[in-house]
């Protein structure tokens, strides 16, 4: 005789393993701190690339004016301003990444906890019959 509740539970577990479970396991393979550091390192690299592209676009938008003004400007203060903008951009990007990675890790942990509770229910069904 087929137990409909058991079939529904098995279906939910199979769907979780196929979709969300793979991602959650991949995240929780790491310790929380390690996962967050890896995500922050990725974001530092991508933020540097993004800032470089944005700066390149800014320079090439009016390249002729930039080149004529280059000889007149104080290069040290210009570089200091660019590095200040980069530091502010990087700090904001890293702060967002930190919050996002922590939330991602805790949501993955919570979903795995629910999955293991469902597995315990399934195990209880098997022990009953």
pLDDT in tens, 32-88: 999 999 999 999 999 999 999 999 999 999 898 888 888 888 989 999 999 999 999
Q: pLDDT grade, residue 1 (50/70/90)? A: low
In which residue are the tokens 């310790």 written? 31
pLDDT of residue 129 exceeding 80, the answer is no
Q: What value does the CA radius of gyration of the chain take, rounded to a whole number of Å? A: 25
Please state, in angstroms and rounded to a whole number, the distance separating the CA atoms of residues 9 and 94: 40
| Overall pTM surpassing 0.85 (yes/no) | no
């Amino acid at each position: 005789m087929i137990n409909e509740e058991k079939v529904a539970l098995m279906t939910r577990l199979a769907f979780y393993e196929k979709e969300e479970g793979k991602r959650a396991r991949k995240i929780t393979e790491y310790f929380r701190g390690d996962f967050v550091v890896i995500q922050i390192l990725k974001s530092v690299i991508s933020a540097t690339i993004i800032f470089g592209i944005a700066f390149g676009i800014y320079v090439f938008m009016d390249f002729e004016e930039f080149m004529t003004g280059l000889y007149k400007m104080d290069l040290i203060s210009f570089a200091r301003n660019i590095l200040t903008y980069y530091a502010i951009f990087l700090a904001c990007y890293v702060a967002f990444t930190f919050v996002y990675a922590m939330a991602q890790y805790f949501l993955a942990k919570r979903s795995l906890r629910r999955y293991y509770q469902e597995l315990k229910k399934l195990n209880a069904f098997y022990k009953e019959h």
